[in-house]
């Protein structure tokens, strides 16, 4: 067995381009996931039963089916219904974001429910509406508590974004595959790909740890 260092060095720029794409779709999916997750999470505990039901179905469906299948559904099945091709980028971010939204919703729900009931009562007793109390009192406090689980979710999403390579989207994993197709350097390239993923996930987990410390000291809880 021979390890071809030149191949690693030469293909590194291309892998970095792929890593850039991975970061981009992860960031977009995270943003989409957090927005969806916040609203679905709140819907899961609101007093309006139909909304609660819809939110529960959403969470069940997207947690209960594989992301890979969801990507196929968005990219291949949806166009059959709409009669329109879907951009791979939109499909990738859409599928990952919607999937992540289900997990984030559960994180937010748990975070919100962990806030002392007295906070809601205090807000309501001052004449604020349920929505106002959620917005100004409950959610800001819940946000701090969900930073660690949200961090885990982002790391999972970054890794899972490798699945969008199946629809030909040229993120890091797909780049690796393409380079291997030309050079047959499976060993070198897959090791390189793994290391690039590792660097990204470690960066995120360090950043989350930093945020956790910062918010922890901010109001001395």
Partner 1 sequence: MINIEKLHKSFGSNEVLKGIDLDVKEKEVVAIIGPSGSGKSTLLRCMNYLEQPTSGMVSVDGIVLNEADINKVREEVGMVFQRFNLFPHMTVLQNIMLAPLKVRHADKAETEQTARQLLKRVGLADKADAWPNQLSGGQQQRVAIARALAMKPKVMLFDEPTSALDPEMVGEVLDVMRQLAESGMTMVVVTHEMGFAREVADRILFVDQGVILEQGTPEQVFDHPQQERTQTFLSKVL
List residues binding partner 1 (CB under 8 A). 116, 118-119, 121-129, 132, 136-137, 140-141, 144, 219-221
Q: How many CB atoms lie within 10 A of CB 141?
A: 16
Q: What is d(CA 136, CA 48) in angstroms, rounded to the nearest whole number?
A: 21
The distance of closest approach from Cβ of residue 125 to partner 1 in the complex, given in angstroms and rounded to an integer, is 4
Nearest to 56 by CA among 96, 98, 102, 113: 102
Q: Report the residue number, 136 or 184, with the smaller CB distance to partner 1.
A: 136
Output Rg (C-alpha) for the chain, integer angstroms: 21
The distance of closest approach from Cβ of residue 220 to partner 1 in the complex, given in angstroms and rounded to an integer, is 6
Rounded to an integer, what is the distance from CA 17 to the centroid of its chain? 20
- On whether the CB atoms of residues 141 and 119 are closer than 8 A, the answer is yes
- On whether the CB atoms of residues 130 and 51 are closer than 8 A, the answer is no
Q: Which residue is associated with the tokens 């599928």?
A: 95
The distance of closest approach from Cβ of residue 217 to partner 1 in the complex, given in angstroms and rounded to an integer, is 12
The distance of closest approach from Cβ of residue 216 to partner 1 in the complex, given in angstroms and rounded to an integer, is 12
The distance of closest approach from Cβ of residue 149 to partner 1 in the complex, given in angstroms and rounded to an integer, is 19
Nearest to 18 by CA among 175, 165, 156, 194: 175
Q: List, as one string, the DSSP characters of 170-188.
A: -SHHHHHHHHHHHH--HHH
Q: Report the residue number, 19 or 138, with the smaller CB distance to partner 1.
A: 138
Q: Report the residue number, 51 or 166, with the smaller CB distance to partner 1.
A: 51
Hey, is 162 helix, strand or coil? helix
The distance of closest approach from Cβ of residue 144 to partner 1 in the complex, given in angstroms and rounded to an integer, is 8
Nearest to 74 by CA among 105, 99, 57: 99
Q: Report the residue number, 32 or 42, with the smaller CB distance to partner 1.
A: 42
Q: Report the residue number, 50 or 83, with the smaller CB distance to partner 1.
A: 50
Quick one: which H or E segment has residue 167? none
Q: Report the residue number, 145 or 174, with the smaller CB distance to partner 1.
A: 145
């Amino acid at each position: 067995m021979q390890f071809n260092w030149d191949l690693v060095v030469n293909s590194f720029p291309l892998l970095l381009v792929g890593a850039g794409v991975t970061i981009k779709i992860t960031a977009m999916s995270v943003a989409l996931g957090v927005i969806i997750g916040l609203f679905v999470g709140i819907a899961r505990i609101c007093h309006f039963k139909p909304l609660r039901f819809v939110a529960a179905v959403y969470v069940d469906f997207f947690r209960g089916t594989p992301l890979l299948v969801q990507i196929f559904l968005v990219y291949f099945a949806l166009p059959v219904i709409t009669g329109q091709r879907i951009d791979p980028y939109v499909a990738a971010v859409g599928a990952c974001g919607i999937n992540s939204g289900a997990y984030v919703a559960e994180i937010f729900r748990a975070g919100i429910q962990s806030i002392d009931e007295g906070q809601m009562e205090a807000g309501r007793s001052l004449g604020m509406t349920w929505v106002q109390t959620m917005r100004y009192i409950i959610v800001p406090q819940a946000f701090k508590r969900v930073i660690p689980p949200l961090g885990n979710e982002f790391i999972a999403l970054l890794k899972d974004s490798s699945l969008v390579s199946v629809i030909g989207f040229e993120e890091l994993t797909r780049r690796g595959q393409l380079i291997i197709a030309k050079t047959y350097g499976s060993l070198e390239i897959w090791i390189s790909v793994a290391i690039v993923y590792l660097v990204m996930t470690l960066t995120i987990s360090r950043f989350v740890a930093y945020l956790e410390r910062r918010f922890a000291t901010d109001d001395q809880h």
